[in-house]
């Protein structure tokens, strides 16, 4: 039996003092020695539980074995067989609650760093394009056209899979850049944009066409697409409509939705104003409301834009925070102040309508609610204020109603997401599938990719059976 090694390799990081002033990637990636050392910890389980923990079913022990044997083209090939975006997933997947949670070494507190190894292989591929083996694409030319709405992870993974099956695939994307949240949401210090572009280029190299600036529901509808000769449509427009607190003062100047704040920074490069056109004003004292990855990203952007004090306002405790542990630690290292068990009562402004403070309630935790987390309870007469000049509301997002309202026969849930059959991604409308955040509400990159793959398989078998 293989010897158990619980010494998980740490991720090298950009030094703290420099990283607080730039948008370059914080995690630097394993050295070749670290990658081999970490790969050697894998026990090569005959029935590997880690694979079931990955929503796209990567053959994890196989790619790690190839890496161990220095056969990097084979390691790349194994990854790409199941995952068209490994450089992205290796960086942003919540591995601790997916593949690594299921690793047998997780019980001993030191799962194999599967995501970091995946990133290492994907980065090797980027720097050795001449050595990469082509995937077995274009099994059959069916002469059938398929439309995908949205170029985020769900749309990209569905289109890659369908193109490899031999379909003619066109993605219609509303914005002037492809990639969805990967491009306009997650900041470059976590996910560099050249990595995203490289993986989008790979999907295009499989034959997928991406048409930008195409807002479906405005310039044409899903019904128009079906009339124009597309045999099936996969809806993957995400869930981009921000949610707000609905408390007094929320219209004051200086309050952003996290969506707007991060889009200005990522897509429009507001931090390079005036070199780029879009400005962004971040003051000296910033409150970010929320405890998820989006809140951590917004807070860490505010640090990089020069704010002196950045607060995270979260109504539960650290244990219930949905943000990835790694990102919480990075935020705290960078000086973000966690104001836990607090909940906004109102925003306060001056007579010119400018935000000056936030009033908060103190909270305590009660019984577990139906999310499995302990319910936050307001402590009466516990109000206190913090002086701030900027607030960023990062409470989550919901589906945009544009596509549902412009498409006939599409059933919705009471939350406004599209109703689908979880096993196939099929909707109530003939020839239309849906997946990703539009079907589930805001979730993760890898769950959106998994949904894209499931829909591709279902579309393929439907089209084969209908001739
Ligand atoms: P999206 O990525 O939202 O893509 C949808 C695409 O459809 C967009 O490009 C949009 O412009 C386009 N579109 C919308 N409407 C139309 C229309 N009418 N016509 C044409 N195109 C349209 N997940 C993780 O796993 N790890 C993380 O660390 C993480 N961090 C995150 C940080 C932030 C700031 C945010 C916002 C999310 C984060 N997530 C993270 C969540 C993850 O990014 C999403 O769950 C995932 O991107 C959803 O994929 P999707 O393809 O369904 O939608
Ligand atoms: Fe793990 Fe994500 Fe890679 Fe799957 S894609 S093996 S869940 S890091
Ligand atoms: Fe390797 Fe862990 Fe998967 Fe076993 S469960 S094959 S140790 S990564």
Q: Which DSSP state fits 400?
A: -
What local confidence, expressed as pLDDT, does residue 123 receive? 96
Confidence of residue 436 (pLDDT cuts 50, 70, 90): very high
Q: Are residues 391 and 248 in the same domain?
A: yes
* pLDDT score of 337 more than 70: yes
Q: Are residues 251 and 368 in the same domain?
A: yes
Establish if 136 belongs to a structural domain.
no
CATH label of the domain that carries residue 425:
3.50.50.60
> Is residue 393 lining ligand 2, measured as CB closer than 6 Å?
no
d(CA 339, CA 288): 10
Of 103, 95, 117, the closest CA to residue 44 belongs to 103
* pLDDT score of 140 more than 70: no
Query: pLDDT, tens digit, for every residue of 3-17?
Result: 899 999 999 999 999
> Is residue 217 lining ligand 1, measured as CB closer than 6 Å?
yes
Confidence of residue 371 (pLDDT cuts 50, 70, 90): confident
Mean pLDDT within 333-340: 97
Confidence of residue 303 (pLDDT cuts 50, 70, 90): very high
The answer to whether 397 touches 241, Cβ cutoff 8 Å, is yes
- Going from the Cα of 95 to the center of ligand 3, the distance in angstroms, rounded, reads 13
Query: pLDDT, tens digit, for every residue of 92-110?
Result: 999 999 999 999 999 999 9
> Is residue 51 lining ligand 2, measured as CB closer than 6 Å?
no
Point out the domain boundary residue: 373, 395, 417. 395
What local confidence, expressed as pLDDT, does residue 204 receive? 96
Q: Are residues 274 and 345 in the same domain?
A: yes
Point out the domain boundary residue: 395, 421, 443. 395
Average pLDDT of the chain?
A: 93
Confidence of residue 456 (pLDDT cuts 50, 70, 90): very high
Which tokens is 348 given? 């306060």
Establish if 165 belongs to a structural domain.
yes
Cα distances from 141 to residues 100, 134, 165, 175, 223, in angstroms, run 38, 18, 8, 30, 25
What local confidence, expressed as pLDDT, does residue 1 receive? 57
Establish if 140 belongs to a structural domain.
no
What local confidence, expressed as pLDDT, does residue 130 receive? 74
Residue 9 zone, left/alpha/beta (φ > 0; ψ -120 to 50; rest): beta
- Going from the Cα of 180 to the center of ligand 1, the distance in angstroms, rounded, reads 5
Among protein residues, the one whose CA lies closest to atom 53 of ligand 1: 238
Establish if 8 belongs to a structural domain.
no
Establish if 139 belongs to a structural domain.
no
CA 10, 15, 20, 22 torsion-angle sign = negative
Establish if 138 belongs to a structural domain.
no
- Domain extent, residue 45, equals 16-131
Q: Are residues 218 and 289 in the same domain?
A: no
> Is residue 270 lining ligand 3, measured as CB closer than 6 Å?
no
* pLDDT score of 270 more than 70: no
What local confidence, expressed as pLDDT, does residue 333 receive? 96
Q: Which DSSP state fits 327?
A: H
Question: Which among 152, 183, 322 is the best mutation to test ligand 1's pocket, defined by most ligand atoms within 8 Å of the CB?
Answer: 152
Point out the domain boundary residue: 341, 363, 395. 395
Q: Are residues 262 and 385 in the same domain?
A: yes
Q: Are residues 107 and 26 in the same domain?
A: yes
Q: How many domains would you assign to the chain? A: 3
d(CA 236, CA 228): 19
Q: Are residues 190 and 218 in the same domain?
A: yes
What local confidence, expressed as pLDDT, does residue 58 receive? 97
CATH label of the domain that carries residue 123:
1.10.1060.10
Q: Are residues 376 and 320 in the same domain?
A: yes
Among protein residues, the one whose CA lies closest to atom 4 of ligand 3: 45
Mean pLDDT within 168-195: 96
What local confidence, expressed as pLDDT, does residue 373 receive? 85
Ligand nearest to the CA of 115: 2
End-to-end CA distance of the chain: 52
Establish if 163 belongs to a structural domain.
yes
> Is residue 50 lining ligand 3, measured as CB closer than 6 Å?
yes
Q: Are residues 320 and 360 in the same domain?
A: yes
Q: Are residues 123 and 160 in the same domain?
A: no
> Is residue 93 lining ligand 1, measured as CB closer than 6 Å?
yes
Query: pLDDT, tens digit, for every residue of 197-206?
Result: 999 999 999 9
pTM of the model: 0.93
């Amino acid at each position: 039996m293989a010897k158990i090694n619980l010494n998980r390799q740490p991720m090298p990081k950009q030094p703290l003092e420099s990283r607080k002033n730039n948008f370059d990637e914080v995690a630097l990636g394993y050295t070749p020695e670290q990658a081999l050392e970490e790969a050697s910890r894998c026990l090569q389980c005959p029935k590997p539980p880690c694979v079931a923990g990955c929503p796209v079913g990567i053959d994890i022990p196989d790619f790690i074995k190839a890496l161990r044997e220095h056969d990097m083209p084979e390691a790349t090939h194994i990854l790409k067989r199941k995952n068209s975006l490994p450089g992205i997933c290796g960086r942003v997947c919540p591995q601790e609650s997916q593949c690594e949670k299921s690793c047998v070494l997780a019980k001993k507190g030191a799962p194999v760093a599967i995501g970091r190894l995946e990133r290492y292989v994907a980065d090797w591929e980027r720097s050795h394009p001449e050595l990469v083996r082509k995937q077995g694409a274009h099994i059959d030319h069916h002469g059938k056209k398929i439309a995908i709405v949205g170029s985020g992870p769900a749309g990209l993974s569905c289109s890659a899979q369908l193109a490899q099956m031999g379909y003619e695939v066109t993605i219609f994307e509303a914005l002037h850049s492809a990639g969805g949240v990967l491009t306009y949401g997650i900041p470059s210090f976590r996910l560099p944009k050249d990595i995203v572009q490289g993986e989008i280029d790979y999907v295009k190299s499989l034959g997928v066409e991406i048409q930008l600036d195409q807002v479906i529901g405005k310039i044409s509808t899903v019904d128009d697409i079906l009339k124009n000769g597309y045999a099936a449509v996969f809806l993957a427009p995400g869930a981009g409509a921000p949610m707000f607190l609905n408390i007094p003062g929320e219209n004051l100047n200086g309050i952003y939705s996290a969506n707007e704040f991060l889009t200005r920074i990522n897509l429009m490069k507001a931090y390079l104003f005036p070199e780029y056109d879009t400005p962004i004003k971040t003051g000296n004292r910033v409150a970010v409301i929320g405890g998820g990855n989006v809140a951590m990203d917004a807070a860490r952007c505010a640090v990089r834009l020069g704010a002196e004090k950045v607060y995270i306002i979260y109504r539960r405790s650290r244990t219930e925070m949905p943000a990835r542990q790694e990102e919480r630690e990075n935020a705290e290292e960078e000086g973000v102040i966690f104001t836990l068990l607090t909940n906004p009562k109102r925003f306060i402004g001056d007579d010119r309508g400018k935000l000056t403070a936030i009033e908060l309630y103190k909270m305590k935790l009660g019984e577990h609610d139906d999310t499995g987390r302990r319910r936050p309870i307001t402590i009466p007469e516990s109000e206190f204020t913090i002086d701030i000049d900027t607030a960023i509301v990062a409470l989550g997002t919901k589906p945009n109603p544009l596509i549902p309202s412009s498409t006939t026969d599409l059933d919705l849930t009471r939350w406004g997401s599209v109703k689908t059959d979880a096993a196939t991604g099929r909707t109530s409308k003939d020839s239309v599938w849906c997946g990703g955040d539009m079907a589930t509400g805001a979730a993760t990159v890898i769950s959106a990719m998994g949904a894209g793959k499931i829909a591709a398989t279902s579309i393929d078998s439907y089209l084969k059976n209908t001739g």
